[in-house]
Amino acid sequence: MSGDTIDWITVLIAVFGGAIRVGTPFLFVSLGECLTEKSGRINLGLEGNLIMGAMAGYGVAWISGSPWLGVLAAGATGVLLGFVHALLCQQPRVNDIAVGIALMILGTGLAFFLGKPLIQPSAPHLPALHLGDWSDNPALRAALEINVLFIVGVILAPAMAWFFRSTRWGLAIRTVGESDDAARAMGLHVNGVRMLATMAGGFLAGVGGAFLSLYYPGGWSEGLSSGQGLMAVALVIFARWDPVRCLYASLLFGGAGALGPSLQSVGVTWGYYLFNAAPYVLTLALMIAASSTRVRSGMPGSLAAR
Amino acid sequence: MSTPHALALQAINVSKRFGALQALDQVSLKLRQGSIHALLGENGAGKSTLVKCIVGFYTPDDGEVLLGERQQAIGNPRDAHELGIGMVYQHFTLIPNMSVLENLVLARPHLPAVIDWKKERQAIAERMQSMPFQLPLDASVNHLAAGEKQKLEIVKQLLLGVKVLILDEPTSVLTPDEADEVLGRIREMTRAAGLSVLIITHKFREVMTYADDVTVLRRGKFAGSAEVAGVDIRQLAEMMVGSEFSQTALARAAVAEQPLKLGIDALSVADDSGMSAVHALSLQVKAGEIVGIAGVSGNGQRELVEALAGQRPPSGGTIRVMGETYSGRRRELLRHGFHCLPEEPLRNASVPRMSVAENLAFRHYDQRPFSLYGLLRRSRMAAAAVQAIADFKVRPPLPNAPIGDLSGGNVQRAILARELGEQPNVLVVANPCFGLDFTAVTEIHARIMAARNAGAAVLLVSEDLDEILELADRIHVMSGGRLVYETTPAAADPIVMGRHMAGHGETAHAD
């Protein structure tokens, strides 16, 4: 009986640690998607950004020896893909969803192609803060090993909310996202604002990719991403286009993703694949919930007007 | 009052051509300082083009715009703003997901990089005191009623300190009461603050009551200009439509037998979000009468018409046509001669990419002669379409063109040809003349009246009070999903009706 209790606490701690570890890439991609969607465009290509970012980040970190240069490189590839997305979408009668899917496939394929030589070498990992050293519980210590990028993300989420609320640039992005006409009447350059927002969003998604290859699960392989870039789209809807809620939603998705491994670590072996499917089940459930009109209330007008 | 002859703004011989269309031909206009100047004309007369040339949205091909006495190059709406010219467009340029405060701050030309909301709120709250309308600063714009949005648009311009305010059909979404309030306050501002206002409208009543001067355009040309005190409605109407104008009162024939044809009993309908939009509504329409339903849009009219057209399942109550339960199925439509002319026919009553001929054949495509042994006979459809196009003057007269390529008025005519090409038994019509010009409106009204005189039961749902007063035999006012008031055209008082439309004067929040 008492053994059972300890096991469940371990599972909870592991899910908590996993929520942070698995949730960080969700956080960056969803913040990137949130930024892009606030400007009135959906970029489904962020999955491609994520994988390209993972590959480029790993490659640059390996060559330069600095994981932070890797993160920057990952962001830069994201900016580039974001630029291509925005450039294609601003052509007349081009659909952003279709462009996004094309770029997702392009990014993934390109990353696999360019990343072939990166499967063997080992690049330096990103540093983590050991916040659990006071405890002698190994599970807790492992869970409290918090990556620096996560901290950055935790600061970034409210900062982005403030940016949308209280800066000229943030208001410009929201205006463009709400109504082309209103933005033009204000003299805003609609395509320009969207391009910058898509590029910045691409940067964040790229950084999310660097986390995958440079921290957790670490290393470069073709199975590195399991669709986080796509699920982030659902996550942004769930978060009602609010960066701070993106943070909570990422942790929720991360926790769901960590459920399978955590249960396995305490010896629950049945249903491993079933529990691993938790994030996807969650995505489906959220998409169904999101079709209710109440949830759509925060939706940028340009997206709602489709 | 400021000197009556000082000019705030002047357009001289302005011309603008779009491709083959001469939208404006040598049009001049003089706006006196501290006055309201109405710009009157049919749809497509060039009113919007003229003001868009004034605010720099378009560059005129010829002619000039003088501000005060000086010629000004106005290259874009921003220049116009700098010069103190503000325009309120017909389509709101507000941002729905933002608050009133955010919308007002956003409108400012030079925003600081970081916005101090506390300071902005204080400044705007202070200046709001001197505004003609008070608005809740923290309300989200999408929770405002149409009238409040219109007021917000105007306040937005006034806070920017404009000296010349241009309003494009500002009262089209307002109840008569609200329209009077808005125009009355604006008139006060012109007297007190020296504001000069140019207002685009097609409502004679507003011109006569509020404007000082009026300029009339007809087919892109200057048709006349006058002080309102010196003209009457008939003269204005003549200027507007030229010599063709002849107001033939619609012949209302008495119909002897008036059996009940359409009976609605305790009908409830939910809107898209599942909220009840029509609450237990009961209504009867007899043969040979037009029952008008007046009301401001968003009070359940759309859901009611959709339920009658079979596009939206009712959540309660019954609809009976010719005494039989009716659920909007195709078979019932055909058997009972039930015809429906919904608003926005391009969206609600046609398939835009299919041809005019195909759209015209929707009612009978699967019957002879359009269909034989399950095969469509396109030549028959085309032949019938050619006839219908000629009868209803659809332009261009091309049966094989996609209906979506036609102009709004011609789509309306084509759908009218389909629904009124044969005598309807029951006819449901919603806003049939929205956005159409004077000539088309007259024609459509005549056809609806003809259907009534031939014994059809007609339900007319319209936001245009004048239209209802002209056509209906009985009038209901719809507000908040209920019929709240009944009257007849002879006894109707527009102000009383307006109060009922607005839910007894309370501001109805369309949430």
Q: Is B39 left (phi over 0), alpha (psi -120 to 50) or beta?
A: beta
Query: Is residue B505 over pLDDT 50?
Result: no
In B, which residues are within 8 Å of A301 by CB distance? 95-97
**Least CB–CB distance from A181: residue in B93, B114, B273:** B93
Q: Are B281 and B259 in contact (CB under 8 A)?
A: no
Nearest to B77 by CA among B101, B61, B53, B95: B53
Contacts of B480 (CB under 8 A, 6+ apart): B279, B299, B300, B503, B508
Q: Are B404 and B396 in contact (CB under 8 A)?
A: no
Q: Residue A286 falls within a domain, yes or no?
A: yes
The owner of tokens 């008082």 is B493
In B219-337, beta strands by DSSP E: 221-227, 260-270, 276-286, 289-294, 316-321, 324-325
Decide: helix, strand or coil at residue B365: coil
Identify the pLDDT of residue B241: 66
Hey, are the CB atoms on B95 and A179 less than 8 Å from each other? yes
Distance between CA atoms of A99 and A193, rounded to whole angstroms? 18
Query: Is residue B397 over pLDDT 50?
Result: yes
**Least CB–CB distance from B113: residue in A168, A293, A301:** A168
Q: Which two tokens stand for residue B106?
A: 């956003």
Hey, are the CB atoms on A187 and B89 less than 8 Å from each other? no
CATH code for position A225: 1.10.3470
Convert the pLDDT of each residue in B192-242 to its tens digit. Answer: 888 999 999 877 788 889 999 999 988 788 989 999 999 887 788 778 766
Rounded (10°) CA dihedral B200, B201, B206, B207 = 70
Q: How does strand B85-88 pair with strand B164-168?
A: parallel
Decide: helix, strand or coil at residue A130: strand
Q: Residue A244 falls within a domain, yes or no?
A: yes
Closest chain A C-alpha to B511 CA, distance in angstroms? 12
Q: Residue A137 falls within a domain, yes or no?
A: no
Distance between CA atoms of B453 and B471, rounded to whole angstroms? 12
Q: Which amino acid is at B467?
A: E
Contacts of B154 (CB under 8 A, 6+ apart): B88, B132, B133, B165, B167, B170, B182, B186
Nearest to B430 by CA among B345, B498, B333: B345
Nearest to B205 by CA among B225, B185, B232, B182: B232
Hey, are the CB atoms on B76 and A187 less than 8 Å from each other? yes
Question: Exposure string (b/e) for A172-197, b if CB count within 10 Å is 16 or more?
Answer: bbbbbbbbbebbbbbebebeebbbbb
Contacts 24+ apart (CB under 8 A), A277-284: A279/A226, A279/A231, A279/A253, A280/A227, A280/A231, A281/A256, A282/A252, A282/A253, A282/A256, A283/A231, A283/A234, A283/A253
CB contact B110 to A (< 8 Å): no
Query: Is residue B371 over pLDDT 80?
Result: yes
**Least CB–CB distance from B78: residue in A187, A300, A301:** A187
Convert the pLDDT of each residue in B309-348 to its tens digit. Answer: 988 999 999 999 999 999 888 888 889 999 998 888 888 8
Q: Which two tokens stand for residue B124?
A: 């705007």
Handedness of CA B106, B110, B113, B114 (dihedral sign): negative
Under 8 Å CB pairs connecting chains A and B tally to 53
Convert the pLDDT of each residue in B339-369 to its tens digit. Answer: 998 888 888 888 988 999 999 998 888 888 8
User: A175: nearest CA in chain B?
Assistant: B95
Decide: helix, strand or coil at residue B97: coil
Query: Is residue B494 over pLDDT 80?
Result: no
Identify the pLDDT of residue A4: 54
Question: CB-based burial of residue A224 (10 Å sphere; 0-12 exposed, 13-18 middle, 19+ buried)?
Answer: buried
In A, which residues are within 8 Å of B78 by CB distance? 187
- Candidates B87, B94, B97: best to mutate against A (most CBs of A within 10 A) is B97
Identify the pLDDT of residue A63: 94
Query: Is residue B422 over pLDDT 90?
Result: no
All structural domains of chain B? 7-244 (3.40.50.300), 260-337+424-509 (3.40.50.300)
Identify the pLDDT of residue B480: 85
Decide: helix, strand or coil at residue A153: helix
Q: Whole-number mean pLDDT of chain B?
A: 85
In A, which residues are within 8 Å of B94 by CB distance? 182
Sheet holding B164-168: strands in order across?
A: B70-71, B62-67, B7-18, B21-32, B221-227, B213-218, B36-41, B196-201, B164-168, B85-88
Closest chain A C-alpha to B120 CA, distance in angstroms? 11
Task: Specify which residues B22 forms β-bridges with.
Answer: B17
In B, which residues are within 8 Å of A178 by CB distance? 95-98
Identify the pLDDT of residue A292: 63
CA distances from A105 to A31, A46, A99, B45, B185 (A): 21, 10, 10, 52, 59
Convert the pLDDT of each residue in B47-83 to its tens digit. Answer: 888 998 998 888 899 998 888 777 877 877 778 888 8
Per-residue pLDDT tens listing for chain A (306 residues)? 444 555 788 888 888 988 999 999 999 999 999 999 999 999 999 999 999 999 999 999 999 999 999 999 999 999 999 999 999 999 988 999 999 999 999 999 999 999 999 988 888 999 998 888 888 888 888 888 899 999 999 999 999 999 999 999 999 999 999 888 888 877 789 999 999 999 999 999 999 999 999 998 889 998 888 888 888 888 998 888 999 999 999 999 899 888 888 888 777 777 778 888 888 888 888 778 776 655 556 788 778 765
Q: Which two tokens stand for residue A51?
A: 């994988």
- Candidates A168, A189, A241, A296: best to mutate against B (most CBs of B within 10 A) is A168
Q: How many domains does chain A have?
A: 1
C-alpha R_g of chain A: 19
Q: Which range, of A141-150, A282-291, B464-473, B476-485, averages the lowest pLDDT? A: A282-291
Q: Residue A132 falls within a domain, yes or no?
A: no
Q: Residue A139 falls within a domain, yes or no?
A: no
Q: Are A57 and A118 in contact (CB under 8 A)?
A: no
User: A167: nearest CA in chain B?
Assistant: B114
Instruction: Tell me which of B21 and B114 has the higher pLDDT.
Output: B114
Convert the pLDDT of each residue in B136-164 to its tens digit. Answer: 999 988 888 777 888 899 999 999 889 99
Q: Which domain holds residue A76?
A: 3-126+146-304
Q: Residue A110 falls within a domain, yes or no?
A: yes
